[in-house]
Structure 1
C-alpha cells in the first residue's frame, strides 16, 4: 500500500479499465496491435468507460466507525507484519467526494466498487452498522448526482473475520445463509439506485489462492503446497468446497433478488470470473487436450455450473470424490442464475501436457492444476497489453457458453513500478 492520498489518483494510474455490456458482441472499431493512441471516437457512442476498486484496497478507516476486521485485514497484517496493509490505504472512506470529482474530470461513465461486509454488518450477521450504511449511501448518491453509474460487488476476498473464525467461512455450507442475508441488506438499502450487482469477485482465483496455495486471504492450504509457513487448511478438498459454497451462495442471492426485488428495482445480478486465453505450446493432440483441461479447471469450474448446472466432465473425472456434488434442486437453481458475467482478463497462458501428474498418488487440487497449467497466477511480473487476445477470449465465451451478457470489468496491464497519469494516453 502507498502513502495516503486521494483515492482515485491511484485508481486511474493503476486500475484504469473499460467495461461495457456485450449481449451480441458488437465491438465497434478495433485497433491494430501497432497503434499506440486512441480516443473515445474509436469506440461506439454507447461504450461505457469506468474504473474499479475494492473496499479494502481503497477505503482505509479500517478500525473506524464500527468496522471489524475481514480476512483481508488478517492476511495483510500477518504476511506483511504491519508494513503494508489497508488500515489507511487511499483514505477513500473520507475522500470519496474528491474521488468522484476526479472521476468526473477524467470522464468516467461508471464506477465499480465493493462493499466491505464487515463495515456494513460487523459481525457478519445481525445488526447493520448505521455508520457503514451511511457511508455507502453517501458514496452511491455522490456517484449518481454526478452522472456516474454504480456497479457494486458484494464480496472481494474480504469475508468478515468473525465468520471465518466461527465456522471456516467459505468452506462451510453455513455461509450460504449468512451471505444471502447480507445480500438482502444490500439489495434493500441500495437497490433503488444500484442496477448492477456482482455477488462474488473472481471465485476461481479466490479459491485457488486462498485455499490451495495460501497466497491470498484467508491463507488456507496444506503442505507441500503452501507458499509460506503457519498455514492451516487442506489443499486437497478446500478449494472445491469454497467454490461449491460460493456458487450456492450466488444462486441463493440471485434467487432472492428475482423473487423480492427485481419487479421494483429492475436490476441485474451476476458474478465475475478471472479468464485467460489458453494456447497449446505444441501443435499436438495432447497439448490441445491439456489446454482444454486447464480452461475447464479455471474458467469452466465456474461457468459450467452457471450455464449447465454441473462441473466440467474433465474436472469431475480428475477430482473424483473430492469435488462436491450438486443435488438436482441445487443444479436447477444455479443454472441460469447469473444475469451477466463480469470478465476479468489480463493475459494468456501457454499449456503443455503433463498428464502423468494426474496419475500421481498425491491427487490433490494442486496436482490437478500442475497437470495442466504452466504459469504462476500470482506472479508480480509485468504483463503486456494484448487486446486482440481479449477479443479471442470473448469469442470463446460466446461459443462455449451460449453468448451470455458480458461486462469487461477488468482489463489492462501489470507494471512493476508506478507510472504517472501523464504517461498514459486516453
Structure 2
C-alpha cells in the first residue's frame, strides 16, 4: 500500500526522473560445481485438495473449495476425483520410489481430520493419513506434512468468517495438536502454512480463489490471523512432541517495477507490494515486527502478546518460487498498485509469467542478507505444460530445461553461502490446479482424465537421475 507521503515523494521524483529505464535482465554467478551435497533432499510436493478426490468419502467435511463456483474455474471442472489419491496413494508412493525421491511434501486436509474445523475428530480421516505416512516410510521416503494448503473447513467460513475471525487461529492450533499427537510419532517434518499471501489476495481480495471474497479491508485481519495461527500451531506441535522439525512455506516473490510508465511511481508500487506480499509474513516470523508499509492495516488487529506468539523459532523456511512480479502505479486502484506484464521479449510460461531463474537466486540472496540466512527448503518450483485440452506432453524437454536453469540458480546461491537443504518439485502428477482446473499440468506424471491411466514424462527420468547422483547435468546442445 502506498501512503500519501510515499505517493508525494514518488510523484516529486517522477518530475525529475521521467520514464522507466530500459529493461536489463537479471543474472546470477555461474556455478562452480554442478554437484549437490550428498545429504541434499530431493523431493516432490502435492496438496490434498488438488490430488485426493473422495470429497464425500469416509466422513470428510466440506471445505471452502468444495463450494467455490465452477464458473470461476478455467475449464469448469471440480476436484471431486482429481488424481484419486485417496484410493491410489500406494500408486503415488510407488511413483515416488521410482523417482528416487527422498522426501514427499503433501498436505493434510483439515476438514478430513476435523470435519467442522473444531470439535469432533474424524478417525477415518486420521487413519487415511496414517496409512499414507506408513506407505512412505516403508519405501524410505521422508514425509513432510503441510497443515494448511487453503482447504479451510467450510463451517469455519460460513459460521465464523474464516480467517477474518481471530478465533480461527485457535481452532487451527487445536487441529495442529490433533495431528501431532496422532501422526507425530512418524511424521517428523511439518510445514505450517502454504503460501498464505496467495490465500490472502487470491481468496479475499481478487476473489479468484476460495472463499471468493473481494474486500481489500480483509487484508489486515486475514494476514494477521494467519500469522497468529502459525505461531499457535508451532507452539502446539512443540508442546505435543519435542523431536519435530518445523517450518512454513511462503511464496517469496521478487517485486519489480513495471518496465513502462513513470519509474519512481512504479518503484514505489513494487515496494508497497513487497511489503504486503513478502514482508507481512517474513518480517513478523523472522524479525518480530511487521514492515512499516503494512502496519497501518495490521495494527488494528494486534493484541498484547501477539508478536511474541508469531515469532516462534522455526527450523527452516520453505520458499516457493515460480516467477517475479511486475508492479505499476495505478491511480484508480484502492492501493495505487496494479500488476503489469513482464518486459517485452522475455521468456514466458503458460501463465504469461516471466521465466526467470535469476529470481530464484535473488530470493535466496535476500533470505541470506536480510533475514539471518535461515535454513531453506525450496518447497515448490516448476512449470506447466502449455495450456491445452489435449493430453499432457510426454516429451517435456521444456520442463527439463526450466528445472536445470532454476537449479543452477539454487546451486549458485548455495556457493554464495545460502543454506539450502533441499528442493521439492511441483508436482508429482498432473492435478487440479485451483482456478486453472485440469488445463494446467505441472507433473512429472500425466493422468488421463477419461481413463485415469498414468504415464511418466521425460522429466521423470531426468529428475530420477538427478536425485540418484546429485549431479546437475549440462544442457544438451
Smaller-chain TM-score bracket: 0.7 to 0.9
**Which residue of the partner structure matches residue 274 of structure 2?**
295
Q: Of residues 101, 108, 113 in structure 2, which corresponds to 1:120?
A: 113
1:413 to 2:383 alignment: yes
**Which residue of the partner structure matches residue 176 of structure 1?**
169
* SS of residue in 2 equivalent to 1:270: strand
**Which residue of the partner structure matches residue 49 of structure 2?**
56
1:411: how far off? 1.0
Q: How far apart are the structure 2 equivalents of 1:204 and 1:397?
A: 17
Distance change (3 Å), C-alpha of 1:42 and 1:82 = closer
* SS of residue in 2 equivalent to 1:276: coil
**Which residue of the partner structure matches residue 231 of structure 1?**
none
The size of the alignment, in residue pairs, is 361
1:286: how far off? 5.0
1:156 to 2:123 alignment: no
CA deviation map 1:351-371 (0-9, x unaligned): 44x2x73xx7xxxxx622x52
1:345 to 2:321 alignment: yes
Q: How far apart are the structure 2 equivalents of 1:199 and 1:128?
A: 19
1:333 to 2:300 alignment: no
Q: How far apart are the structure 1 equivalents of 2:264 and 2:241?
A: 49
Q: How far apart are the structure 1 equivalents of 2:100 and 2:278?
A: 33
Distance change (3 Å), C-alpha of 1:349 and 1:51 = same
Q: Of residues 100, 103, 111 in structure 1, which corresponds to 2:96?
A: 103
* SS of residue in 2 equivalent to 1:324: helix
* SS of residue in 1 equivalent to 2:225: helix
Q: How far apart are the structure 2 equivalents of 1:236 and 1:388?
A: 31
1:179: how far off? 0.6
Larger relative contact order (CA 8 Å, sep ≥ 6)? 2
* SS of residue in 2 equivalent to 1:150: strand
Distance change (3 Å), C-alpha of 1:270 and 1:66 = same
Q: Of residues 365, 373, 395 in structure 2, which corresponds to 1:403?
A: 373
Q: Of residues 138, 146, 151 in structure 1, which corresponds to 2:139?
A: 146
Q: Contact 2:319/2:379 (CA < 8 Å) preserved in 1?
A: yes
**TM-score, normalisation: structure 1:** 0.78
What is the RMSD computed on CA atoms of the aligned residues?
A: 2.8
CA deviation map 1:147-188 (0-9, x unaligned): 111110111110111111111111101102211110000010
Q: How far apart are the structure 2 equivalents of 1:137 and 1:112?
A: 15
5+ residue gaps, structure 1: 1-26, 33-40, 222-234, 361-365
CA deviation map 1:165-223 (0-9, x unaligned): 111111101102211110000010111111211111111000101110111011111xx
**Which residue of the partner structure matches residue 23 of structure 1?**
none
Q: How far apart are the structure 2 equivalents of 1:79 and 1:305?
A: 33
Q: How far apart are the structure 1 equivalents of 2:211 and 2:123?
A: 27
Q: How far apart are the structure 2 equivalents of 1:402 and 1:81?
A: 41
1:259: how far off? 2.9
* SS of residue in 1 equivalent to 2:186: coil
**Which residue of the partner structure matches residue 345 of structure 2?**
none
Q: Contact 2:234/2:312 (CA < 8 Å) preserved in 1?
A: no
Q: Of residues 199, 207, 210 in structure 2, which corresponds to 1:214?
A: 207
CA deviation map 1:370-389 (0-9, x unaligned): 5264359xx96254543332
Q: Contact 1:198/1:270 (CA < 8 Å) preserved in 2?
A: yes
**Which residue of the partner structure matches residue 313 of structure 1?**
292
**Which residue of the partner structure matches residue 15 of structure 1?**
none
Q: Of residues 169, 172, 194 in structure 1, which corresponds to 2:187?
A: 194
Mean CA deviation greater in 286-295 or 127-136: 286-295
**Which residue of the partner structure matches residue 393 of structure 1?**
363
**Which residue of the partner structure matches residue 371 of structure 1?**
337
1:337: how far off? 4.1
**Which residue of the partner structure matches residue 276 of structure 1?**
253
Q: Contact 1:294/1:373 (CA < 8 Å) preserved in 2?
A: no
5+ residue gaps, structure 2: 1-27, 343-348, 395-455, 464-477
Q: How far apart are the structure 2 equivalents of 1:104 and 1:407?
A: 20
CA deviation map 1:277-312 (0-9, x unaligned): 233456955544443322112100111111222221
**Which residue of the partner structure matches residue 19 of structure 1?**
none
Q: How far apart are the structure 1 equivalents of 2:268 and 2:72?
A: 37
Distance change (3 Å), C-alpha of 1:277 and 1:395 = same
Q: How far apart are the structure 1 equivalents of 2:128 and 2:30?
A: 39
Q: Contact 2:258/2:341 (CA < 8 Å) preserved in 1?
A: no
